[in-house]
Chain A
């Protein structure tokens, strides 16, 4: 057995279903060994998307996504995908082929110092120096990626080491990492303090982030909120923790969020932030968040607590474990009336949204109306993947998510993420309807993956909001540079109906509001992959 065989054995032990990637000479021993395994491989068309597919897969399956690419340019192309996963704390193990270890550092063909390059956006990285280290390194890599605050781990694997003999393979059952022991259980005294604050509070708000999804604590949060009638707001990454129409759900916070949810944060006397970073996109002036209120910050990563806002009660641990503890405490308080008050505010948001964002005077398709109707028509457990740009903001504001998931690249804002992520999500849950909504800019960054979807029979539905411009930049230039538009025209874009045809997909075009219902129905009801072009005005703002 060589070290590449050993690596595949490790993946089997970790119950890996898929490896997404792209071969090259330096990773060939690995891709040779995988032929003798049940693990399925997916050849992408560009390495960045291997990470996005793995990310979508990881977010829906709850497992660690695995990527394997070659050295040099292969690894370099992967960088954006790794950084995207890191920003959203998505667990990935990325294996990169590397040149012969004896030649490393001498600038040979397709050599790049990938572990150095990704240093600041991986959770950890390894360079495999000895064949016999493979089992330990893989065991550690999966452990690090999937525990604590999750994230991508890189394993750089020189070709000569891949070919080296491993005399005896044994996968470690347990790990003894002296230096890595993430806190799972929340401090009991701190948990009690939270309970005490809740008992005292008149106007508490739960602010949920992506950490709730990552911890698998969605149901716990929902029932905890309902048990006590606590209103819930969310960050972009926390969308779909609560169903959009849940009576306790007030909306998304931040510049791009709703008035009611931002108001809720202001009016609250107790804010419990759960698995969110309190980052610039969600909290404008974080140091003000503690004025006239008690701030509780629950997160698995102690470094996030106090980074942007100093909490009164920090609580470090896994959200699932902490909410199990909180649910076991006796809390008699009920805040249903306060929640009703906020829901009233949120109704006003909704009225405004319909009056300003959805109403079509000249029969044109309004993007907010489109994402609303599309999401309403989707199956209850459907997966809605929003890309980046205006389409993301419209999706955040307009999408109605029931028991499904809302996925997007929240931290890094990587254009084109939605196509790969949708393919990965669909592979993780073939029975669930999966829809990507993107702009014509993002679409053209990654639509080569339509071939991947076709090759592996992954039926994805992609709706492109087409305005022939880079809408969010154009909007910014409209407001900030008084319509001095610079480098935002997408003239020269391809005819999407022909793209659909070229990739063997059905095609739906929507141009007039009165055809919306029918077009959405065709889009969602068609078998196989569907590409939809939804023509909107470039003057729409998000």
Chain B
């Protein structure tokens, strides 16, 4: 099939709120794989209301594909809402844990770099260090570049989670308003 004009590939971050049913994550992931949509990263976690899960998914494609992704995801029965988290109106964060080989001398250097990036040393062993660093993907990439002179033994990245800035783009879990204070505790008791 021939494609329409704008076939330039763009990257987009979507926030998906879903009912916390069994298999919901596999339904979302399955949709992406069978329709050939790209997943750069996917993170999921329960929201303040345990009946819902918030998924942040980073994907890429041309305009037509990105529009289809939004529509096909919205069509899934378990999906409450899908919204693009635009870079200018959102905050993204990713956490990385990095285990680096470090002798006495290297240790000091690595701690210094980690400090600059406001990372934390979360484990120290005779031959290695473990670093925790949080930030947007760019910051993590930059940090990893600086560590390239050392031997990275293991690396775990969470993929990004994101939220929109301010209160203009809130998606309420239920109804038209945010829940009252103390609602969750009451709700959980009931």
**Chain A positions near chain B (C-beta within 8 angstroms):** 115-116, 119-120, 123-124, 127, 129, 144, 177-180, 280, 285-287, 301-303, 306-308, 310
CB <8 Å contact, B77 and A310: no
8 Å CB contact of B74 from A286, A303, A310: A303
Which one, B30, B72, B80, contacts A179 given CB within 8 A?
B80
How many Å lie between the Cα of A143 and that of B18 in the bound state? 19
Chain A residues near B27 (CB, 8 Å)? Answer: 119
The reply on B154 being an interface residue by CB < 8 A is no
Asked whether, in the complex, the Cβ of A303 is within 8 Å of the Cβ of B71, the reply is: yes
Closest 8 CB pairs of A and B: A303-B71, A124-B77, A179-B80, A303-B75, A180-B77, A120-B34, A287-B4, A303-B72
Tell whether, in the assembled complex, residue B77 and residue A115 are in contact, meaning their CB atoms are under 8 Å apart: no
Specify which chain B residues have a CB less than 8 angstroms from the CB of A179 in the assembled complex: 18-19, 77-80
Residue numbers in B under 8 Å from A119 (CB-CB): 26-27, 30
B78 contacts which chain A residues (CB < 8 A)?
179
Contact check, B77 vs A287: say whether CB atoms are below 8 A apart.
Answer: no
Cα–Cα, bound, A178→B175 (Å): 9
In Å, the complex CA distance between A144 and B80 comes to 15
- B142 on the A face (CB < 8 A): no
Q: Does B170 make an interface contact (CB < 8 A)?
A: no
Interface string of B24-52 (1 = CB under 8 A from A): 00110010001000000000000000000
Which residues of B are found within 8 Å of A307, using beta-carbon distances?
68, 71
Give the Cβ gap from A466 to chain B, nearest Cβ, in Å.
37
Query: What A residues does B168 contact at CB under 8 A?
Result: none
Count residues on chain B whose CB falls below 8 Å from chain A CBs: 24
Distance to closest chain B CB from A448 (angstroms)? 32
B186, CB-defined interface residue at 8 Å? no
> Which chain A residues lie closer than 8 Å to B22 at the CB level?
127, 129
Query: Is residue B64 contacting chain A, with contact meaning CB distance below 8 A?
Result: yes
Given the complex of chains A and B, what is the CA–CA distance between A25 and B3 in angstroms?
51
Closest to A121 in B: B34
Shortest Cβ distance from B25 into chain A, in angstroms?
12
* A-side contacts of B34, CB under 8 Å: 120
**Beta-carbon contact of A123 and B71 below 8 Å:** no
Which of chain A's residues have a CB closer than 8 A to the CB of B80? 178-179
Determine the distance from Cα of A69 to Cα of B72 in the docked complex, in whole angstroms.
Answer: 30
CA–CA, A312 to B64, complex, Å?
15
The distance from the CB of B137 to the nearest CB of chain A, in whole angstroms, is 29
Judge whether A178 and B19 touch: CB under 8 Å. Answer: yes
Which residue in chain A gives the minimum CB-CB distance to B52? A178
Nearest CB on A from B27, distance (A): 7
| Residue of B3, B67, B77 ringed by the most chain A CB atoms within 10 A | B77
B77 touches A306 (CB 8 A): no
Whole-angstrom CA separation of A302 from B70 in the bound complex: 10
Which residue of the partner chain B has the closest CB to A122?
Answer: B77
Task: Give the residues in chain B near A308, CB-CB below 8 Å.
Answer: 1
| Bound Cα distance from A280 to B1, whole angstroms | 9
Q: List the B residue with the shortest CB-CB distance to A124.
A: B77
Distance of A180 Cα from B51 Cα, bound (Å): 15
Chain B residues within an 8 Å CB radius of A177? 77
Judge if B149 is at the interface, Cβ distance under 8 Å: no
Instruction: Please name all residues of chain B whose beta carbon is closer than 8 Å to the beta carbon of A129 when the two chains form the complex.
Output: 22
Q: What are 18 A-B residue pairs whose CB atoms fall within 8 Å in the complex?
A: A116-B26, A119-B26, A123-B77, A127-B22, A127-B23, A178-B80, A179-B79, A280-B1, A285-B1, A285-B2, A287-B1, A287-B4, A302-B74, A302-B75, A303-B75, A306-B64, A307-B71, A310-B4
User: Contact at A303–B4, with CB atoms within 8 Å?
Assistant: no
Docked Cα-Cα span, A303 to B75, in Å, equals 7
Say whether B174 faces chain A, with CB atoms less than 8 Å apart. yes
Q: Which residues of B contact A310 (CB under 8 A)?
A: 4, 64
How far, in whole Å, are A144 and B77 apart by their CA atoms in the complex? 8
Distance in Å: Cβ of A359 to nearest Cβ of chain B: 38
Distance in Å from the Cβ of B153 to the closest Cβ of chain A? 35
Q: B residues within 8 A CB of A285?
A: 1-2
Against A, the Cβ 8 Å flags (1 = close, 0 = not) of B152-184 are 000000000000000000000010000000000
In angstroms, Cα B41 to Cα A64, docked, is 39
4 more contacts with CB within 8 A, not counting A119-B30, A286-B1, are A178-B80, A303-B72, A306-B67, A310-B4
CA gap between A295 and B79 in the complex, in Å: 30
Q: How far is the CB of B40 from chain A (nearest CB, A)?
A: 22
Instruction: Give bound CA distance, A129 to B19, whole Å.
Output: 17
Shortest CB-to-CB span from A443 to chain B, Å, is 32
Contacts of A116 in B (CB 8 A): 26
What CA separation (Å) do A239 and B30 show in the bound complex? Answer: 34
Tell which of B1, B72, B80 has the most Cβ of chain A within 10 Å: B1
CB distance from A58 to the nearest CB of B (A): 20
Instruction: A399 to B78: give the CA distance in the assembly, Å.
Output: 42
Cross-chain contact B3 with A287 (CB below 8 angstroms): yes
> In the bound complex, do residue B174 and residue A178 qualify as a contact, i.e. CB atoms below 8 Å apart?
yes
**Alpha-carbon distance A178/B72, docked complex (angstroms):** 17
Closest residue of A by beta carbon distance from B69: A303
Cβ of B13 to closest chain A Cβ, rounded Å: 20
